[in-house]
């Protein structure tokens, strides 16, 4: 079981960085938001595996605590970026509508 979880954590834990890089090269706001959402999804999966490792005592919490904290911080940062991107998209759409009606 430990090998399976380790493999899942490696896969989900190494995915956010390249997905973030892809988001930085996005072709549109929608593409940017979508790629950040994939990044957040992978971070949440990583957080799930880290919590499981701690809860089942596969590794001591003192070894995983900082990793969990960093994962939580990254989830918050990426999550807020997605919210901001969606708010900016709505503002841009509203501004375009207002400009078109003048």
Residue 97 counted as domain residue: no
Residue 36 counted as domain residue: yes
CATH number for the domain that contains residue 26: 1.20.1440.60
Model confidence, pTM: 0.88
Neighbours of 83 (CB within 10 A): 11
Residue 80 counted as domain residue: yes
Domain of residue 18 covers 2-91
Q: What angle do CA 36, 37, 41 make, to 5 degrees?
A: 120
Residue 99 counted as domain residue: no
Residue 100 counted as domain residue: no
Instruction: Count the domains in the chain.
Output: 1
> Digits of tens for pLDDT over the chain (102 positions)?
889 999 999 999 999 999 999 999 999 999 999 999 999 999 999 999 999 999 999 999 999 999 999 999 999 999 999 999 999 989 988 888 887 665
Alpha carbon distance 16, 42 (integer Å): 6
Residue 98 counted as domain residue: no
């Amino acid at each position: 079981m430990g090998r399976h979880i380790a493999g899942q954590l490696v896969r989900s834990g190494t995915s956010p960085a390249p997905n973030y890089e892809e988001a930085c090269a996005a072709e549109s706001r929608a593409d940017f938001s979508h790629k950040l959402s994939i990044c957040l999804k992978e971070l949440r999966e990583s957080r799930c595996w880290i919590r499981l490792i701690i809860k089942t005592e596969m590794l001591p919490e003192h070894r995983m605590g900082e990793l969990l904290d960093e994962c939580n911080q990254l989830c918050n940062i990426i999550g807020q970026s997605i919210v901001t991107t969606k708010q900016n998209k709505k503002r841009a759409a509203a501004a375009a509508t207002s400009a078109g009606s003048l």
